[in-house]
Chain A
Amino acid sequence: MLIDTGAGRGSPPPLPASRSSARRWFPELSDNTVGLLFIAPFIVTGLFFMVYPVIEAVRMAFFSYNPLRPEVTRYVGLANFQFILSDPLFWDAFLQGTVWTLLSILFQTLLGVSIALLLNRTLPGIAVFRGLLLFPYIVPTVVIALIWRWIFNPEIGVVNYALIATGLVDTPIYWLSTPDMAMASTILLNVWKYTPFVVICVLARLQSVPQELYDAARVDGAGAFRRFLDVTLPQLREVLIVVVVFRTIWTFNKFEEIYLLTKGGPGTSTFNLAVYSFEQSIASLKLGVGAATGVVMMVMLLIGSIVYLRVSGFGREEAGA
C-alpha cells in the first residue's frame, strides 16, 4: 500500500519537522550567499593578518616610533624614506639581496626542471624518490639553518671533513667566514631547500603534457633535445613563469635563512633588505625605518612582478583565445 505524500500534485512534499524549524530560523540562502559565507572566514583572516599589517606598516613608515618610548611617537613625513635611501647599507643590502635572489632562482629553476624531467618516468620505486625529494622542503628552516651551521663549520663540520678525507681539498674551506663564500653558502642552502618546490610544480605539469605531442615530434624526426625545446619547454612556460614570480617574491623577502645562517655577515656581506629591516626595527628600535624598508620592498616587488609578467607574456594565449 502506497502512502499518499501529495507528490506529483504540484505541491512540494512536507519537510521533516527538524528541517522545517531550521528553515524558520535560517531562510533559504542563494548560492552566492552560501559561497560568500564559505569564504568569509578566509576574508576576515586575510584582512586581519595580511591587509591590516600592510596598512599599519605603511602608516608606520611615516612615523618615528620607538616602542620603548611610545609617548614620543611623531609624524615625520618622508624622513624614514630619506634615511634609508641615503643609507649605503640599504643599497648594499638591496644589491646583495638581488644577487642572492637571482642566483637562487636561476639554480632552483635549472635543477628543478632537470630533476622533474628525471622523475617524469615510470620506473619501479619512483614514488619513493618523489617522496624523498620533498624532505628539504618540509623540514623547518630553523632546523635546516642550524644544522647547516654545523655542517659548514670550518673546523669540525662534516663538509670539510668529507672534502679533506676524499682529498678534494687540502685545507679547510671557510664557508661562512668570507663574504663571497658566505653568500655562496646562503644561496646553496636556499637552492637545496626550495628546488623541490620547483620540481613539484614542473612535474605536475609534465604529467599532463599529452603524449601525442611527443609522438608527433618523433614522427617528424625530432631528437630528445629538439623535443625538449619544441614540446616540453613551451608546455612548461606558463608554470615556470608562475614559479619564478613566486620564488622571486619569496626569496627576495626571505629573512630567516640568512639571519640564522650568517646573521647577515661576515660584516654585512649577506644582508638583504629583510635583514636590514629587522636590524633597523629590532636592534635599533627604529620601527618607522623598518616599516619604510618594507614598503619600499613591496613597491619594488610589485613593479618587478608586473614588468616580468608583461615581458614574459603570461596569460597572453588565454586572452587571445
Chain B
Amino acid sequence: MRPSRAITAKSCIHRRDFLASGAALALVTSGHRSNAQSSKTGTVRVWGEPGPYGGVAVAAMNEWAQKNAPGLKFEIETIPWDGVYVKLMTDLAARRPPGLISVESPIAMQLMAEGLLEPLDDVSQTVGRDRLADKLKWEYFGAWTSKQYIMPAHHQPHLLLVRTDISKELGLSDPDGWSWNDLANAARTITQKKPEMAGICMALGRNLCTDYHFAALLHQAGGRMFDQRNKFEVAFDSPETAEALEFVRELQQFMPKGAVEYSFLQVVDAHVTGKTAMSFYWGRTLGRAAEEAKPIFEATEAFNHARNPRTTRRSNWNDFQGWCIPARNNPFVEEAKQALTYYLKSTPWLVKYCHSLMPNVAPVFKDQAESAELRNHPFYQSKARAVDTYFNTSLEHASSTANELLQGVNPFAGIVHGRSILAQTVQKVVIDKMSPRDAAKWGARELDSVRKENMQLVN
C-alpha cells in the first residue's frame, strides 16, 4: 500500500504543481490580457472641442494603438462649442456615438446621469487617484452614485481680461482689488474717455457663451439654478439672480452694441481687435492676441473676477472638462479605456496637451502641473502672472453650472445649456427690457420644467 500511497502522494504533488502552474499561467494571462493586443480594426472616433489639444491626446492614443492595436486608428472629430449639445444628442440618439468624448462638464454629467457612459473606476485607479492637482477633486469632473464616469482632461476658467495700458492711462486702480462697483465704474470711465472702444465685453447672445458668462455673475451673487441639497428644487427666482441680471444691465451700457448677439468668437474678436478694453474670457484671448496683435497681448492681463460687494465672491465658470466613454453602441469601449489610460499616465503627453493652446487648457494632474517641461513655454516668460491665475489661483473661485458653487453635481445643467435658458433670461433683460425680477421668474419657470421633465435623472 505504501508504494501505492507514495505514488499517490507523488501524483498529488504533480497535481498540485500542475494546478499551481495553471493558476500562475492564468494570472499571467489575465495580467497580460489588460495589456494584450487588440485584434479589432477600424477607426475609433474621438469627439473634442475645436482646438489642437484634442488632437494631441489622440496622437498619444495612436501611439498606444501602434503598439497594442495595430488595426485601430484614433481620429479626432472637432465639434464647435455652440454645436456641442446638438451634435452629441443627435448622434447619441441615432446610436452612432464615438468611441471616446472630451466634453464640457455640464454635458458630460448629463450623459453620466442618463446612464449613457461607461464607469471608469478602473481607469481612474490605474491612472492614480492621488495624482489630481491641489484644489481639484474627482467629483468636479464627473462622479455619480459613487462611480467615476469622467476622467479629467483639463480645467478652464473664464476670467476678467483687462488692457492694463488703458487702465493705467486712465488712472484706474488694480483690477485685482475690484468689486462689481469698481468694475462698472472702470467700464464707464473707459467708455467715456475712449470713445473708439467699449469699456467691457461679454457674450449676451442666445448661446452657450452667455450661459457661462452669466453663470459666473450668478454664483458671485450667491445665486444658483437648483438646490442640490433640497431635491434639486429650482432656486433661480431669487434676489441674487435679480442682482446678477441688474449688474448685466448696468454693464451693457459699456459694451459693444452688438454684444446682444455675441458668442465665443465675437468676444475674443472684440478684445483682440481693440474694440474693448476689458472682457470676460478663457485663456484663448491671450493666445489669439499673441498670434495676431502683439501690443494688445503685451498690455492684457488676466484677473480673477471682481468681487460681489455683498458676498465678496469672485466665482468664475470653470469647465472641468473630462473624457468619457459612451457605453451603448460603442464597439471600442475596452480599447478606448486602454488608450485613455496610456495617455493620462504620460506626463510628457499631458504637458504637450497644455502647450498646444496656452493658456487655455490648465493642467489637472500634479506631475503635469509641476513639470519643468510645462514651464518651458514662452507664456511663462511673457505672461507668468496670467498663466498662474488661469492655472492655479482661479481654482479658489471655481464654480460651474454642473457643480454650482462646488456643492454637488447638477446633472440638469447640460439640458439647461442645451435650451440656452440662462442666455434667454439675460436676453429678456437686455433685449426685451424685462425687469430683472420678472426675468428671474421667467427663467425659474423654464428651469422648473427642465426639472419636472428630467427628475428621473436624480431620483
Chain A contacts to B: CB under 8 angstroms: 67-69, 72, 153-156, 172, 174, 176-179, 182, 262-269, 279, 282-285
Q: Are B427 and A265 in contact (CB under 8 A)?
A: yes
Complex CA–CA separation, A265 to B94 (angstroms): 28
Q: Are B206 and A267 in contact (CB under 8 A)?
A: yes
Q: Which residues of A contact B92 (CB under 8 A)?
A: 67-68
Asked whether B389 is an interface residue with its Cβ less than 8 Å from the other chain, the reply is no
8 Å CB interface, B115-148 against A: 116
Closest to B111 in A: A68
Closest to B427 in A: A267
Out of A68, A177, A264, which one reaches B93, CB within 8 Å? A68
Complex CA–CA separation, A285 to B85 (angstroms): 11
- Give the most central of B94, B256, B261: most A CB within 10 Å: B261
Closest to A171 in B: B257
Complex CA–CA separation, A179 to B431 (angstroms): 8
What is the minimal beta-carbon distance from B89 to any residue of chain A, in angstroms?
6
CB-CB contacts of B74-105 with A at 8 A, as 1s and 0s? 00000000000110011011100000000000
What is the minimal beta-carbon distance from A63 to any residue of chain B, in angstroms?
15
What is the minimal beta-carbon distance from B194 to any residue of chain A, in angstroms?
15
Q: Which residues of B contact A262 (CB under 8 A)?
A: 261
Complex CA–CA separation, A221 to B357 (angstroms): 77
Q: Which residues of A contact B116 (CB under 8 A)?
A: 68
**When A155-B275, A269-B431, A282-B86 are in contact, do A177 and B270 touch as well, CB less than 8 Å?**
no
Q: Are A267 and B207 in contact (CB under 8 A)?
A: no
Name the interface size band of chain B.
Answer: 20 to 34
Complex CA–CA separation, A279 to B116 (angstroms): 22
Q: Are B273 and A156 in contact (CB under 8 A)?
A: yes
Asked whether B313 is an interface residue with its Cβ less than 8 Å from the other chain, the reply is no
Q: Are A68 and B114 in contact (CB under 8 A)?
A: yes
Out of A68, A177, A263, A284, which one reaches B260, CB within 8 Å? A177
Q: Are A266 and B86 in contact (CB under 8 A)?
A: no
Closest to B420 in A: A283
Q: Are A174 and B258 in contact (CB under 8 A)?
A: yes
Complex CA–CA separation, A153 to B263 (angstroms): 13
Q: Which residues of B contact A285 (CB under 8 A)?
A: 89, 93, 418
8 Å CB interface, B394-430 against A: 415, 418-420, 424, 427-428
Q: Which residues of B contact A182 (CB under 8 A)?
A: 261
Q: Are A266 and B90 in contact (CB under 8 A)?
A: no
Q: Which residues of B contact A154 (CB under 8 A)?
A: 256-258
Q: Which residues of A contact B424 (CB under 8 A)?
A: 267-268
Q: Are B273 and A266 in contact (CB under 8 A)?
A: no
Complex CA–CA separation, A177 to B259 (angstroms): 8
Q: Which residues of A contact B269 (CB under 8 A)?
A: 155-156
What is the minimal beta-carbon distance from A56 to any residue of chain B, in angstroms?
15
- Give the most central of A172, A265, A269: most B CB within 10 Å: A265
Q: Which residues of A contact B256 (CB under 8 A)?
A: 154-155
Out of B85, B419, B432, which one reaches A267, CB within 8 Å? B432
Q: Which residues of B contact A282 (CB under 8 A)?
A: 86, 89-90
Chain B contacts to A: CB under 8 angstroms: 85-86, 89-90, 92-94, 114, 116, 205-207, 256-261, 269-270, 273, 275, 415, 418-420, 424, 427-428, 431-432, 456
What is the minimal beta-carbon distance from A305 to any residue of chain B, in angstroms?
31
Complex CA–CA separation, A156 to B309 (angstroms): 37
Q: Tell me the dominant secondary structure on chain A's binding face.
A: loop
Closest to A149 in B: B261
Closest to A70 in B: B93
What is the minimal beta-carbon distance from A302 to any residue of chain B, in angstroms?
29
**When A155-B256, A156-B273 are in contact, do A283 and B85 touch as well, CB less than 8 Å?**
yes
**When A68-B89, A69-B114, A179-B431 are in contact, do A266 and B419 touch as well, CB less than 8 Å?**
no
Out of A72, A177, A266, A284, which one reaches B418, CB within 8 Å? A284
Complex CA–CA separation, A182 to B427 (angstroms): 15
Q: Which residues of A contact B428 (CB under 8 A)?
A: 267
Complex CA–CA separation, A279 to B260 (angstroms): 20
Complex CA–CA separation, A69 to B424 (angstroms): 26
Q: Are B207 and A263 in contact (CB under 8 A)?
A: yes
5 smallest beta-carbon distances between A and B, as pairs: A67-B93, A267-B431, A154-B258, A267-B427, A265-B206
Closest to A179 in B: B431
Q: Which residues of A contact B420 (CB under 8 A)?
A: 283
Q: Which residues of B contact A172 (CB under 8 A)?
A: 257
Closest to B89 in A: A285
Complex CA–CA separation, A154 to B257 (angstroms): 9
Q: Are A283 and B260 in contact (CB under 8 A)?
A: no
Complex CA–CA separation, A156 to B207 (angstroms): 21
Q: Which residues of B contact A156 (CB under 8 A)?
A: 269, 273
Q: Which residues of B contact A283 (CB under 8 A)?
A: 85-86, 418-420
Out of A265, A268, A284, which one reaches B261, CB within 8 Å? A265
Q: Are B257 and A177 in contact (CB under 8 A)?
A: yes
What is the minimal beta-carbon distance from A179 to any residue of chain B, in angstroms?
7
What is the minimal beta-carbon distance from B312 to any residue of chain A, in angstroms?
33
What is the minimal beta-carbon distance from A172 to any residue of chain B, in angstroms?
8
Complex CA–CA separation, A265 to B270 (angstroms): 20
What is the minimal beta-carbon distance from B85 to any residue of chain A, in angstroms?
7
Out of A155, A266, A268, A284, which one reaches B205, CB within 8 Å? A266
Q: Which residues of A contact B86 (CB under 8 A)?
A: 282-283
Q: Are A266 and B431 in contact (CB under 8 A)?
A: yes
- Give the most central of A172, A262, A283: most B CB within 10 Å: A283
What is the minimal beta-carbon distance from B79 to any residue of chain A, in angstroms?
14
What is the minimal beta-carbon distance from B254 to any residue of chain A, in angstroms?
16
Q: Which residues of A contact B89 (CB under 8 A)?
A: 67-68, 282, 285
Q: Are A266 and B206 in contact (CB under 8 A)?
A: yes
Other CB < 8 Å A-B pairs besides A155-B258, A263-B206, A266-B206, 19 of them? A68-B116, A153-B258, A154-B258, A174-B257, A176-B258, A177-B258, A177-B259, A264-B206, A265-B260, A265-B427, A266-B431, A267-B424, A267-B428, A268-B424, A269-B431, A282-B86, A282-B89, A283-B418, A285-B93
Complex CA–CA separation, A279 to B112 (angstroms): 23
What is the minimal beta-carbon distance from B457 to any residue of chain A, in angstroms?
10
Sample (29) of A-B pairs whose CB atoms are under 8 Å apart: A67-B89, A67-B90, A67-B92, A69-B114, A69-B456, A72-B456, A154-B257, A154-B258, A155-B270, A156-B273, A172-B257, A177-B257, A178-B260, A182-B261, A262-B261, A264-B206, A265-B205, A265-B427, A266-B205, A266-B260, A266-B431, A267-B427, A267-B431, A268-B424, A279-B419, A283-B418, A283-B420, A284-B415, A285-B89
Q: Which residues of B contact A284 (CB under 8 A)?
A: 415, 418-419
Closest to B206 in A: A265
Complex CA–CA separation, A69 to B111 (angstroms): 11
**When A156-B273, A267-B424, A284-B418 are in contact, do A176 and B85 touch as well, CB less than 8 Å?**
no
Q: Are A155 and B273 in contact (CB under 8 A)?
A: yes
What is the minimal beta-carbon distance from A97 to any residue of chain B, in angstroms?
17
